[in-house]
């Protein structure tokens, strides 16, 4: 793969006609080492955030040994890449055929569920296996998170007792898991969910071997600067230690976004300017789904050899396809004199950005280039972290 020192150097040297995906392996390595060293339990990478084989191998080399997979395609992908990895099938509604293949062909032993029907399905598909780790998914609130995961999955408090008792009979190891929603902005999301875990354990009177706090760990985006991750880890650790089962159980988490958001960004070209609207060559059907559909503001930077001296101004983007839906409201802050022909780097697209691309209408990034400069924002670099925590204090 071609390697460049920086996004700016690359844009100036190549003047790419198509959008270019940039990857920063060092940023993903740093995030993985941070979780491996500082999270007070096991960190399991949620593959859906970015299933790039290069990234998955990189995380493995950085110490991530467990992978949260949600489909049989993800099971096959990770099993093929990393034969020694441990796979956890954490989608609570699986096809029976997928469970069967995962168990019998790929050695998957950990499954999540949120109904008795799913438990029976797992029993049938595995031939009443006795070596399963079964994680009962609780429904918890998403009120502290930017993206809700509260309505679709998770057993209701009224159903949890029966489900835990039934799963306890089948499971070799019994777990309780939840997901507070993606981009949780405060650690209270986890401490409140842990209270649900406590209530479920007490109500069912079962021993629990795994407490899995799921994903939701935030990254930093304009207008969404979270407290440092250590604060989240600390709150989770204390909540876990205060559970009646902590002496005999393991603590797990399933970060997706936090491990890979800083891994990728995108260089786009401005094809036209109309007032405050910039027509760029990637969009809603490319890596900018979240910018279009949930108004996510990604950090942006104008890539010019001679920096602009005009003041920043808020712009919206139109993507390249032929429909009005391909629109990103922003505002994206760029120098006021940005014009057609300029290149812009859009940062923090490693999670749920590059993973969501389609080839609709024939547009999108085809080339991936490695760069060695720093991502625009980082939760793992001291200077940036100072800035982030100052913002929180204000």
Which CA distances in Å does 235 have to 40, 185, 240?
11, 13, 9
For ligand PLP, the closer of residues 44 and 79 by Cβ is 44
Structural contact between residues 351 and 49, judged by C-beta atoms closer than 8 angstroms: yes
Tell me if 39 contacts ligand PLP by CB under 6 A. Answer: no
291 part of the interface to ligand PLP, by CB under 6 A: no
- 51 makes contact with ligand PLP (CB under 6 A): no
Q: Figure out which of the listed residues 4, 30, 48, 94 binds ligand PLP, where binding follows CB under 6 A.
A: 48
Q: 302: closest CA among 328, 280, 284?
A: 280
What is the distance between the alpha carbons of residues 329 and 278, in angstroms, rounded to a whole number?
11
Least separation in angstroms between residue 143's CB and ligand PLP is 15
Taking the C-alpha atoms of residue 241 and residue 194, their distance in angstroms, rounded to an integer, is 11
Residues 235-254: x where in contact with ligand PLP by CB under 6 A, - otherwise, as a string = -------------------x
Select the residue interacting with ligand PLP from 89, 111, 190, 217 (CB under 6 A). Answer: 217
User: What SS3 state is found at 20?
Assistant: strand
Check whether the bond before 333 is cis (ω within 30° of 0).
no
Least Å from the CB of residue 324 to ligand PLP: 29
Residue 341: count of CB within 10 angstroms of its CB: 11
Contacts (CB under 6 A) with ligand PLP, residues 132-171? none
Min. distance of Cβ 243 from ligand PLP in angstroms? Answer: 20
Residue closer to ligand PLP, measured from CB, 45 or 318: 45
Q: Give the CB-nearest residue to ligand PLP.
A: 215
**Which residue's structure tokens are 């949780």?**
184
Helix, strand, coil percentages for the chain (3-state, nearest 5): 35, 25, 40
Number of shown-chain residues binding ligand PLP (CB under 6 A): 17
16 binds ligand PLP (CB under 6 A): no
36 close to 65: Cβ distance less than 8 angstroms:
no
Of residues 60 through 99, those in contact with ligand PLP by CB under 6 A are: 68, 90
Kindly state the tokens that stand for 311. Answer: 């003041």
The residue range among 45-53, 93-101, 203-211, 328-336 that interacts with ligand PLP, by the rule CB under 6 A, is 45-53
Per rule CB under 6 A, is residue 225 in the interface with ligand PLP? no
232 binds ligand PLP (CB under 6 A): no
How big is the chain by its Cα radius of gyration, in Å?
22
216 lies in the site for ligand PLP, by CB under 6 A: yes
Torsion angle in degrees (nearest 10) through CA of 191, 384, 270, 5? -120
Contact positions toward ligand PLP, by CB under 6 A? 46, 48-49, 68, 90, 179, 182, 214-217, 254-258, 351
């Amino acid at each position: 793969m071609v390697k460049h020192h920086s996004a700016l150097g690359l844009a100036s040297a190549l003047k790419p006609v198509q959008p270019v995906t940039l990857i920063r392996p060092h940023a993903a390595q740093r995030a993985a080492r941070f979780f491996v060293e500082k999270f007070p339990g096991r960190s399991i990478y949620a593959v859906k955030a970015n299933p790039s084989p290069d990234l998955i191998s990189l995380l493995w080399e950085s110490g991530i040994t467990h992978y949260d997979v949600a489909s049989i395609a993800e099971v096959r992908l990770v099993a093929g890449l990393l034969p020694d990895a441990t796979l956890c099938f954490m989608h609570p509604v699986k096809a029976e055929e997928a469970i069967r293949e995962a168990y019998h062909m790929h050695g998957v032993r950990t499954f999540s569920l949120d109904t008795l029907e799913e438990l029976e399905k797992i029993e049938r598909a595995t031939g009443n296996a006795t070596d399963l780790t079964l994680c009962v998914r609780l429904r918890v609130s998403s009120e502290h998170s930017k993206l809700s995961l509260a309505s679709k999955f998770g057993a209701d408090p009224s159903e949890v007792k029966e489900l835990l008792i039934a799963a306890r009979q089948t499971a070799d190891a019994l777990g309780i898991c939840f997901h507070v929603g993606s981009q949780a902005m405060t650690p209270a999301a986890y401490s409140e969910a842990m209270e649900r875990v406590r209530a479920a354990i007490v109500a069912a009177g079962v021993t629990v071997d795994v407490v899995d706090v799921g994903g939701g760990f935030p990254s930093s985006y304009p207008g969404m600067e979270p407290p440092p991750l250590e604060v989240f880890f600390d709150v989770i650790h204390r909540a876990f230690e205060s559970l009646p089962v902590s002496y005999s159980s393991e603590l797990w988490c399933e970060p997706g976004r936090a491990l890979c958001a800083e891994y990728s960004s995108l260089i786009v070209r401005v094809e036209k300017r109309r007032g405050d609207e910039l027509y760029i060559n990637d969009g809603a059907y490319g890596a900018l789904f979240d910018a279009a559909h949930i108004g996510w503001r990604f950090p942006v930077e104008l890539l010019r050899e001679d920096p602009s001296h005009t003041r920043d101004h808020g712009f919206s983007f139109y993507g390249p396809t032929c429909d009005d839906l391909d629109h990103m409201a922003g505002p994206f802050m760029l120098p006021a004199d940005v014009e057609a022909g300029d290149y812009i780097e859009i940062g923090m697209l490693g999670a749920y950005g590059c993973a969501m691309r389609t080839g609709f209408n024939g547009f999108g990034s085809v080339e991936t280039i490695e760069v060695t400069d720093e991502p625009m924002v980082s939760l793992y670099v001291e200077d940036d972290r100072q800035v982030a925590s100052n913002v929180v204090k204000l």
